[in-house]
Amino acid sequence: MLKVHNFSAGPCILPRQVFEKSAESILDFKESGLSIIEISHRSKDFVEVMDKARSLVKEILNVPDTHDVLFLQGGASLGFLISAYNLMGVNKTGGYLVTGSWAKKAAKEASFMGNSIIVGSSEDKNFNYIPKGYSISNNLDYFHVTSNNTIFGTQIKSFYQGTTPLACDMSSDIFSRKIDVSNFDLIYAGAQKNMGPAGTTLYIFNKKILGNSSVPIPTMLDLKTHFEKDSMFNTPPVFAVYASMLTLNWLKNNGGLDFIEKQNEKKANLLYNQIDNSSLFKGTANLEDRSTMNVTFTLENDDLNETFNNMLADAKINGLKGHRSVGGYRASMYNALSLESVELLVNVMNELEIKKG
Ligand SMILES: *Cc1c(COP(=O)(O)O)cnc(C)c1O
């Protein structure tokens, strides 16, 4: 089979064994003669999958008993709205750290049911840094941040620690590094960046937020609805949950966050070193805020783009085109991308350097 090195931003690369096991279970799930996508979501076999997926999240992230975990639908984009609905308190005000286009979209959704305050923004420099030194006024019901800015290649290295409830869109770096879940009232993440196929969205929340919103919440957007039904209020996205469970199992069996965090740092250092020591490439993100997941860079001389693109294609490196709002290149290096794939990319960049640098 053709081996392609997938640096795509999402949907993303998953472990080979997840694809194999998923393919097998599409045809015959647990030797039942039935497909994983045709069995009842209320069957014992599927309930086991859902329970296993939820418990793996708890185990890998060390989720405290105060918190619970759900697998819902709608993507992180619906999470913008769900987070605002569930966290609106007496002030009907959410604060937002606007570090990219996703954060901006999240801030917009809050304005549908309350006030959405921009606490800090890096839009002045096309989101190439993480604002710091902002102050949180005490009339905020919650403070919302985006841990990793998939498009602009920046990442929050240390999270807000104050008393205002913290909400986080962790779509593109969840399970990539250790986090202290107890610090967050709500975390949500679309599966397709680092956990599984598109179609399910992970929610991790402090149970104390349930039923405490100051605004009426439509049934499907109320986390309490899904919590009370163990993530089975309506038909869950069975295949996406199943494949996510397989990925989480792979992560657990491969050293968990201790291992993957080191591995992701290794991959990122390798690529950033190549960029920093290059005469042709230039990183676009502020040094101290650079993401380990999405590395954004440009070729200073546009005339070299075609040569570089052809070299990438020859090396079977896929998905390196930057987002249209930044241009240039973006290497997304999610958990399942191997160190060897990054080494290959670095070699290709080096070759260009030798030819043209
Ligand atoms: C991809 C992404 C989203 C959007 O996710 P959907 O599941 O497509 O709605 C939101 N936030 C971040 C940080 C992302 O990377």
Probe residue for ligand 1, chosen from 104, 127, 144, 150 as the CB with the greatest number of ligand atoms within 8 Å:
150
Q: Does residue 169 sit within a domain?
A: yes
Based on the fold, state whether residues 172 and 54 are members of the same structural domain: yes
pLDDT of residue 288: 98
Q: Going along the chain, which residue ranges are E strands?
A: 5-6, 67-72, 93-98, 115-121, 142-146, 148-149, 154-155, 166-169, 186-190, 201-206, 281-283, 294-299, 317-318, 329-332
Based on the fold, state whether residues 51 and 108 are members of the same structural domain: yes
Which residues are 329's β-sheet partners? 297, 321
| Protein residue closest via CA to atom 10 of ligand 1 | 76
Query: Does the annotation mark 102 as catalytic?
Result: yes
Which residues are 149's β-sheet partners? 154
Which of 253, 274, 301 marks a domain boundary?
253
Residue 342 CA to residue 263 CA, distance in Å, equals: 11
> Which atom of ligand 1 has the smallest separation from the CA of 201?
7
Based on the fold, state whether residues 164 and 261 are members of the same structural domain: no
Nearest alpha carbon to residue 189 among 178, 206, 175: 175
Q: Does residue 8 sit within a domain?
A: no
pLDDT of residue 17: 96
Whether the CB of 173 sits within 6 Å of ligand 1: no
pLDDT of residue 291: 98
Based on the fold, state whether residues 189 and 52 are members of the same structural domain: yes
* CATH label of the domain that carries residue 124: 3.40.640.10
Catalytic residue among 68, 173, 185, 193: 193
Q: Report helix angle 75-87 to 101-110, nearest 10.
A: 40
Based on the fold, state whether residues 161 and 231 are members of the same structural domain: yes
Whether the CB of 77 sits within 6 Å of ligand 1: yes
Interval between CA 267 and ligand 1 midpoint (Å): 23
Q: Does residue 10 sit within a domain?
A: no
Rg (CA), the chain: 21
The DSSP output letter for 198 is T
Single-letter residue type at 79:
G
Residue 112 CA to residue 101 CA, distance in Å, equals: 18
Q: Does residue 192 sit within a domain?
A: yes
Which tokens hold the place of 112? 């549908």
Domains contained in the chain, number = 2
Q: Does residue 11 sit within a domain?
A: no
Q: Does residue 113 sit within a domain?
A: yes
pLDDT of residue 1: 63
Q: Which residues contact 171 (CB under 8 A, 6 or more apart)?
A: 10, 76, 102, 148, 150, 188, 189, 190, 193
Q: Cis before residue 11, ω within 30 degrees of 0?
A: yes
Query: Does the annotation mark 193 as catalytic?
Result: yes
Based on the fold, state whether residues 247 and 191 are members of the same structural domain: yes
Whether the CB of 202 sits within 6 Å of ligand 1: no
C-alpha separations of 126 from 143, 153, 221, 269 in Å: 22, 11, 32, 23
Q: Show the domain range for 78.
A: 16-253
Q: What is the mean pLDDT of each run of 10 residues along the chain (357 residues)?
A: 88 96 97 96 97 98 98 98 98 98 98 96 97 94 98 97 97 98 98 97 98 96 98 97 98 98 98 97 97 97 95 97 90 97 98 92
